[in-house]
Chains A and B, each alone.
Chain A
Amino acid sequence: MSTTILEERKSQIHRAGAGPIDLACNRESLAGAVSQRACVFCGSRVVLYPIADALHLVHGPIGCAAYTWDIRGALSSGPELHRLSFSTDLRERDVIFGGERKLAAALEELVQRHRPKAAFVYSTCIVGLIGDDLKAVCRAAAARTGIPVIAVQSEGFKGNKRAGYLAACKAMFELVGTGDTAGIDPASVNIFGDFNLAGETWIIRDYLRRMGVEVVANVTGDGRVDDIRRCHGAALNLVQCSGATLELARMMQEKYGTSYLRVSYVGIEDMADSLYRTAEFFQNSDPGILVRTQALVRSELVKILPELSRLRRDLEGRKAAVYVGGAFKAFSLIKAFRHLGMQVAIVGSQTGTPEDYEELAAISDPGTIIVDDANPLELSEFIKEKGVDIFVGGIKERPIAYKLGIGFCDHNHERKIAMEGFVGMLNFGLEVHRSVTSPVWRFMPRRAADSADRSKEVEAC
């Protein structure tokens, strides 16, 4: 008899309504459990990746660079240096004799070839072990090349993905405060934790522009080094995907006194609420901003609500499972699904915090399974138990859903469809609808048996 949920994993699973939640999270993944998480390096790489005019050099063996080559859909409106995969491709002799010289030479070569605005040098597992002095090599390279060369302390084994976010924030913080802030409007923000997947940052920038708010830097999506250097001149940081960039916002608050708001651009309420709170922040200096924001929200909602209610007619009563990287997105998705008449029966994340899970438990329907750092077998068990119709996650979760004969919506970094903003809510609804209402499910053995059972029950009544 197999054990789908290992004893040591039980404290990371909770059912909403079954007493107070006390989820053991932010732990290292359990050996042999087949976690869906990646590593510290991954955390850093995903946050810094969209800075499009920087050189991103992975100091390590080839795999780390190869598996992260152009994997995110973070679009750039200009340079696309971030879409190339640079590595020192360390070999056995480098491991034995050290990789510092190779790194220095690689930096020299690549900076000359691409003339980037800055370079990020990522540490990987073995660099942490062979003792290369990354910082010293970066300092020397910066002096030689005249551009900022920043070491990212992202050794894969030194914690989980969250540690990688922190390393990325520290790296970006080295740039902040080195640029000229002249001419920045008092009503100005930086966009943190949005990755411009499928051009989503551009949607948000458009909303802010219509509200009369200047964006100084969209740090983590369509990002530019020079923008980040002067982003301390902005009045407010809008922080989405809290795990990834909250630390940077905190560091900026401490050093520059920049306030921050935690926002989400996913779903109707959270999107509108984020814009309203931004407007409120600036209403003393710009009394007209609230009215403009209301008008904006109204005009956007008018465009999508009729279509959403049409989608809802087909989706009412269906169930969803949500398993995402950061818990913050899960809150918004639960609310977004309610607009489609759907209930989230399973919700989890790779890197949620205790506060995240408390909030999830508070907004979830009773009986909802809440899980931290899940794995394929657990997820498949939960899906079967809850009888969900669609799974929202990333590519690693897709085959779990499809093998069980249920729909799937990619809400991860590879997505090609914008799912943020009001238009993103509609896109999300359309995507869910496309998958859930496909005729293919009726031919899937597991679902076919389900529908046969259901029709028998109906007959029995």
Chain B
Amino acid sequence: MLTKPHAYVSTTNACKLCRPLGAALAFKGIEGAVAFLHGSQGCATYMRRYIISHFREPVDIASSSLGEKEAVYGGGPNLKKGILNVMKKYRPAVVGVATTCLTETIGDDADRLVREFKAEFADLDLPEVVSVSTPAFGGSHMEGFHAAIRAVTEQVVTEPEPTTAVNLFPGFVSPEDLRHLKEICEDFKLAVTILPDYSDTLDGPTLEDYREIPEGGTPLPAIRRMAGAPASIEFGRTLRPERSAGGLLQTRHGVRLFSLGLPIGLRETDALFTALEEITGRPTPRRHALERGRLLDAYVDGHKYLSGKRAVIYGEEDLVAGLTAFLSEIGVKPVLAASGGSSGRLSHSIASVCGSIPGEAPEVLEDVDFHDIVEHARGLAPDLVIGNSKGYRVLARELGIPLIRVGFPVHDRFGAQRLRHLGYRGALALFDAVVNAVLEKSQDDSAVGYGYL
């Protein structure tokens, strides 16, 4: 059921971020890449601060640092000089250029400027320079993220050269989730190219020396071979193939595409394992079958604590769809599923993931801010909230109910980069977190101080 929110003109406490932030995050997952924002200095700095507070890792994002003069005469010279400076300092294999409101509004054509740059400095040992248009006056960080990944496949992938590695486009998930996906593929004995892969770059070890660019990320040669892959797996029910990397490889290079939801919870994870079984011709490896079994065992052990509890879910659309799938199958009633995203596909996705579970589907709000979310949530008597940490003060604390922190950003807890969401293992971690949040609340609220729950 899609409810049209009150048509407020103003936005209060946005439930989304801007496009270039998503692009910068995506570029962080390519080996040797430096993200470069073509715009004013503030954008890069603000986003760095925002991302660092979540991952607690160095996040260097370069900027063309445009000033008033460049806003009038065009930012081309600064862009080119900036890339040269990044080359000197970072020796990158890839520079990922994303535009901003400023450069989109003055009409800088980043694709053309990058082509000019490559021609002008053809005598230098140039990195791969990818450009993506990410005006912030439309869409959210997720559009920026997917646009950057699509731009990479569009601009870097060369002629099909057969490879056994399957492509996996996970979307915006945690470094821990990425590591788990790799492990799953390894156990299926399946070679895989995950794009982007910031599992090391945004959750790196302590080393002897400071790295200009942290180790890790999807290697450029592997990206080049993506057109020759036997199949692509792409997560995101609200992602349109005509805007996605998987869609591009399918139409342009005929790579078979498995479009799946983010594998959150039992059923969405089953869909992933079914796809992997089909691709590899192998049954689900024993350790994952066992994990599935333990997940079901936990579902049973914990079901009564959760039965009938009412939850508000918010965040990026695909995350919201995945979490709604999960909550609906463990007996928690999702009463509100909300997102600042505006793909137009959220309510359909929610209906699909809730379809097989009896009960009323949640209210779905698209393109909303926290003001709308709180206004709707009040009347729905929720018991818990699940989403990023931005809903803590204005929503969970306001209503006096627990917040289970997932996704991005988590600015008020430790270990955000290691949060698990995906696969049977991720579902188990989420399940434990939800049950324990409910138990903690009832224990804290009780005068008895029960020692057994």
A interface list, Cβ under 8 A from B: 2-4, 6, 28-42, 57, 60-71, 83-92, 94-95, 102, 105-107, 109-110, 124-126, 128-130, 156-160, 376-377, 380, 384, 394-396, 398-400, 402-405, 444-446, 449
Residues of chain B in range 26-67 having any CB-CB distance to chain A below 8 Å: 36, 39-50, 52-53, 56-67
For A33, what are the chain B residues with a Cβ–Cβ distance below 8 Å?
62, 65, 85, 89
**A-B CB contact pairs (8 Å), 16 listed:** A2-B89, A33-B65, A60-B101, A64-B42, A65-B11, A66-B14, A86-B10, A87-B14, A95-B137, A125-B105, A126-B105, A129-B102, A376-B60, A396-B52, A400-B210, A403-B58
For B88, what are the chain A residues with a Cβ–Cβ distance below 8 Å?
2-3, 6
A39 touches B105 (CB 8 A): no
B89 → chain A, closest Cβ, in Å? Answer: 6
A404 touches B210 (CB 8 A): yes
Chain A residue at minimum C-beta to C-beta distance from B15: A66
B81 touches A32 (CB 8 A): yes
A106 touches B9 (CB 8 A): yes
Q: Is B189 an interface residue (CB 8 A)?
A: no
A331 → chain B, closest Cβ, in Å? Answer: 24
Q: Given A63-B101, A376-B60, list of 18 further CB < 8 A pairs?
A: A4-B89, A32-B85, A34-B63, A35-B41, A35-B63, A37-B45, A69-B390, A70-B393, A89-B11, A102-B9, A125-B40, A125-B101, A157-B71, A159-B67, A395-B49, A398-B56, A402-B206, A403-B57
B interface list, Cβ under 8 A from A: 8-14, 16-18, 20-21, 36, 39-50, 52-53, 56-68, 70-71, 78-79, 81-86, 88-91, 100-102, 105-106, 135-138, 140, 204, 206-212, 369, 390, 393-394
B52 touches A399 (CB 8 A): yes
| Residue of B14, B43, B393 touching A62 (CB-CB under 8 A) | B14
Complex-state Cα separation, A411 to B96, whole angstroms: 32
For A89, what are the chain B residues with a Cβ–Cβ distance below 8 Å?
10-11, 14, 369
Complex-state Cα separation, A111 to B115, whole angstroms: 48
For B44, what are the chain A residues with a Cβ–Cβ distance below 8 Å?
34
Complex-state Cα separation, A125 to B46, whole angstroms: 14
| Residue of A85, A157, A380 touching B40 (CB-CB under 8 A) | A157
For B57, what are the chain A residues with a Cβ–Cβ distance below 8 Å?
399, 403
Complex-state Cα separation, A130 to B86, whole angstroms: 31
A29 with B41: in contact, given A125-B102, A380-B210 (CB under 8 Å)? yes
| Residue of A88, A110, A400, A444 touching B58 (CB-CB under 8 A) | A400
Chain B residue at minimum C-beta to C-beta distance from A164: B42
Complex-state Cα separation, A42 to B48, whole angstroms: 14
For A36, what are the chain B residues with a Cβ–Cβ distance below 8 Å?
45
A126 touches B9 (CB 8 A): no
B50 → chain A, closest Cβ, in Å? Answer: 5
| Residue of A3, A32, A62, A380 touching B64 (CB-CB under 8 A) | A32
Complex-state Cα separation, A84 to B9, whole angstroms: 16
> Which 6 A-B pairs rank lowest in CB-CB distance, beginning with the nearest?
A39-B42, A32-B85, A63-B18, A32-B82, A31-B82, A106-B10
